[in-house]
A and B are shown apart, each in its own frame.
Chain A
Amino acid sequence: AQTVTQSQPEMSVQEAETVTLSCTYDTSESDYYLFWYKQPPSRQMILVIRQEAYKQQNATENRFSVNFQKAAKSFSLKISDSQLGDAAMYFCAYRSNTQGGSEKLVFGKGTKLTVNP
């Protein structure tokens, strides 16, 4: 079974600074997708960024980028120019894309990000 580990329960960053959230995962599959979701106090999970395992190029979405290291099974999220609205719980998630694999999302425990003005 796949597992996702987020080793930082809490992180803080100054407004306009850069912060990196860590995520590692364990899988024997070679074809999968990785996601970062943000959950603000409103509770709704919002997709931040998505990475396809077979693509070596790291995904980027505006101020959000990932460092995907497939061999190391690492998938960190970098937030540049942090804004107050970035404060939230961030979840790393894995989804199999292997024939016969489960199509569910497997989540890490989350990292609570605080942005200080």
Chain B
Amino acid sequence: KAGVTQTPRYLIKTRGQQVTLSCSPISGHRSVSWYQQTPGQGLQFLFEYFSETQRNKGNFPGRFSGRQFSNSRSEMNVSTLELGDSALYLCASTTYSGVYGYTFGSGTRLTVV
């Protein structure tokens, strides 16, 4: 079966702009989580959605938001981009909870210039 698909794979944006990243989970997976990966901070949890509801949220400013659609696809939005938002954004999906592990996508590499 198809894996977790993230689009686009690469993105270059200018400071102050906004960006939307997309994640299509594995068929049947209803939970989608987002992580930010940077060399300095490592992997940090952004938020998790389950059945179109945000179930958990990390410690990120309100500029970072997300949503989940009825087909479980999720989008993440970052407004008023800052240079420090440059990172690899990873999406992970699982069925209900992650006790058996999560399946990750290959990420979107966002560069803010």
Contacts and interface: CB of A to CB of B under 8 A. Distances in A.
Interface of A: 33, 35, 37, 42-47, 50, 52, 91, 95, 97, 102-110
B106 A50 contact: no
A103 B100 contact: no
A105 B58 CA distance: 11
Q: Name the prevailing secondary structure of the B interface residues.
A: strand
5 contacts: A46-B104, A50-B101, A103-B48, A104-B56, A105-B35
B66 interface: no
A52 B33 CA distance: 21
A104 B88 contact: no
Interface in B71-113: 88, 90, 92, 97-107, 109
A97 B100 CA distance: 11
A43 to B, nearest CB: 5
A100 B60 CA distance: 20
A37 B103 CA distance: 10
Interface residues of B, number: 25
B97 A105 contact: no
Nearest to A48: B101
B19 interface: no
Contact of A43 (B56, B92, B101, B107): B107
A104 B48 contact: yes
A103 B104 contact: no
Nearest to B43: A107
B42 A45 contact: no
B63 interface: no
Contacts of A110: 42
B99 A33 contact: yes
B64 interface: no
Contacts of A35: 101
B55 A44 contact: no
A13 B92 CA distance: 30
